[in-house]
Structures are given as C-alpha cells and as structure tokens.
Amino acid sequence: MDGKDGIGSRYFKQFAASLDTIAIRQPENRPGDRMNTPALHTEPDHLVVTARTLADGMEWVADRLGVSMAPRIGGAHARLGTHNALLSLGPGFYLEVIAIDPDAPAPARARWFGLDHLAAHATPRLAHWVARTDDIHAALAATPIKPGVVEEMSRGALHWLITIAADGALQCDGAMPSLIQWQSQPHPAAALPDLGCRLEKLEVVHPQAIQVAQALQALQLHDRRVAWQAGAEARLAAAILTPHGLRMLD
C-alpha cells in the first residue's frame, strides 16, 4: 500500500471504519477488582520498523510519512549487534527503525526483533510494537502469552529491561508486544525533536486476535489507539498524523 495515498486509499477507509468496533475496551470496575488484580500499569512505548539496512529503513519512513529522520538520532546495541534511528511520535512515544549493524561483531546469541531471519530481498516494514510497564516481572507473570524472557539492555545513558525470545523471534508474528521497563530517565522520546507526528491508531491483525487482546487485558493495557482484528495473516498498520496529513505505516 502506498502510504502517500493517505485517507484517499481504499485500504485506509476500511481501516478507519473498523477501528471503533475492534478497539480494546476498558473493562468496567467491579467491587474487589483492586484486591484480585495486580496493580500493573502498561501502555504503548514505541513502534518498531525492521529493515535490511538502517538507511533503507529511514528512507522508507521518510517516504511514507513525508518527514525526514535525518540527521539520525539513535545509537548501537553492542550486545546484540544492531543499531537504530528514532523519530518522536509525541511525549512518551516514538518510532524506532532497527537493523543489523554491519560494523559490529556477530553476537553470541540471536538478535532481537527477528533480524537474523530477514530475507535478502526483505523491504522495511512495521514489524512490531513495544509496551511499557512499571513492573516487567509482574507483567510477564500476568500475561498468558509470554513475549520472551527479561533481559538487561543499555545504550549510552539509557538502561532498560526488555523481553526477548531466546531465538530472537517476535511473539505472535509481532502482534504481541515486547515488554519494556525503563530504568533510566528521562524517557528516550524526551530527547527527540518534535516534528509534529502522532499515532492515531495502531491496528493489529492476527488469526488469534481475541487471545492476544485478552493477554493485553491481563497486562492492564487499555489504550483506545490500539485496535484488534482477526485475519488470516498477522500484520500491523499504524495511522500517523503528520504535518502533511494522515499517513500509514504497515
């Protein structure tokens, strides 16, 4: 789909029309809920675009959104042999383009976000999303779908805990978010220039959409921007408001 088509595209009209009916609804409070449910707080943290090279991913985002990611803001993940570039999507939220770092030695373990399994002809795509929690161990215990094990990561002054599968694969083909708990302040989005981009809706399509949505209910993630739909194949699509209008990433 051409992201430049904006709201004029047939796909986007179908996407926008479906959002109100498939959004995760916040459950009604009932007596005793506070006693029976762990006091978790989970919310979307960032979107993940995977690419064969960082330059390809940055160019793809710029073409889709009409907003340049240059000069690059990001860094390297020495432990996993990857590097990234970031784009602000507003307070506490951002877009990450990530790729294998050609200048880094191969890591001793599988790289994250399924980067080791990208085909030689793979084009950049919105592959995944990450949800922020204030207690990653409690969150991992609460959800019936496990997005990996908790790993310690750092990049410069940033320190965080994140769930990563042993084989680096994305849980539910990217539909189930990785969990992250930031251990440093401020949030990375605070250091990014605000270019006027905001997430309007994130559509998550998966053959078992109900089960994935229920897993997020267990995490106490209730964000009206996140919508679910059953489909034959897993995919993500994000509607992002830019200075040029509403654009799509998928």
* pLDDT tens digits in sequence order for the chain, 250 residues long: 444 444 334 444 454 444 443 444 434 444 444 445 457 889 999 999 999 999 999 999 999 999 999 999 999 999 999 999 999 999 999 999 999 999 999 999 999 999 999 999 999 999 999 999 999 999 999 999 999 999 999 999 999 999 999 999 999 999 999 999 999 999 999 999 999 999 999 999 999 999 999 999 999 999 999 999 999 999 999 999 999 999 999 9
Nearest CA-CA partner of 19 in 216, 242, 226: 226
Beta-bridge mates of residue 96 = 48, 86
Whole-prediction pTM value? 0.87
pLDDT tens readout for residues 130-170: 999 999 999 999 999 999 999 999 999 999 999 999 999 99
Domains of the chain and any CATH numbers: 38-195 (3.10.180.10)
pLDDT tens readout for residues 210-220: 999 999 999 99
The vertex-2 CA angle with 116 and 69, nearest 5°, equals: 60
Q: What is the b/e burial string over 44-60, where b = at least 16 CB atoms within 10 angstroms of the residue's CB?
A: bbbbbbbbbebebbbbb
